Amino acid sequence: MSVGMLIASHSVNAQNAVLFPLIAGDTLTNADTLYKTISVTAGYSTLGVQVNVTKLSGTVAGNVVLIGSLDGVNYQPVLGDTVALANTTGVQVLKFRRPSPENTFYRLLFISSGSQSYVPRVYYSLKKYNN
């Protein structure tokens, strides 16, 4: 059994949804782990995240956990933001929303288990306060 780990980081200062580019290692296979990190600068009222999971083969299982950090090093799960992956055909859409983001870094932790292969596509948007 092989366990892989990949970390990708991205930051944005726009109000439109941003799509993380696909990079080598984004396909999760069997027992695998993947991180996608979002940097949040000051002045945002809401963080919205959408994950589109496309099943390639097998039986998809595992979790997606939203974790947060103030220093970008020490991460803790954000209360209530763990979603179980379902074994569906086609694309499974998962959404996370953080009003008044209290962390400066958010990371999506993908934990796959079982015998499967899938690709997550991560979109996110940051909405500014209306001043």
Tell me the per-residue pLDDT of 27-55, one tens digit each, with 9 for 90 and over: 999 999 999 999 998 788 999 999 999 99
d(CA 90, CA 79): 29
Sheet holding 32-39, edge to edge: 5-11, 32-39, 105-112, 62-69, 76-84
Q: Which CATH class is domain 5-126?
A: mainly beta
What's the confidence (pLDDT) of residue 15? 60
What's the confidence (pLDDT) of residue 129? 75
pTM: 0.82
Give the strand pairing for 116-128 and 32-39.
Answer: unpaired
d(CA 56, CA 38): 26
Using DSSP's 3-state secondary structure scheme, residue 94 falls into strand
What's the confidence (pLDDT) of residue 100? 85
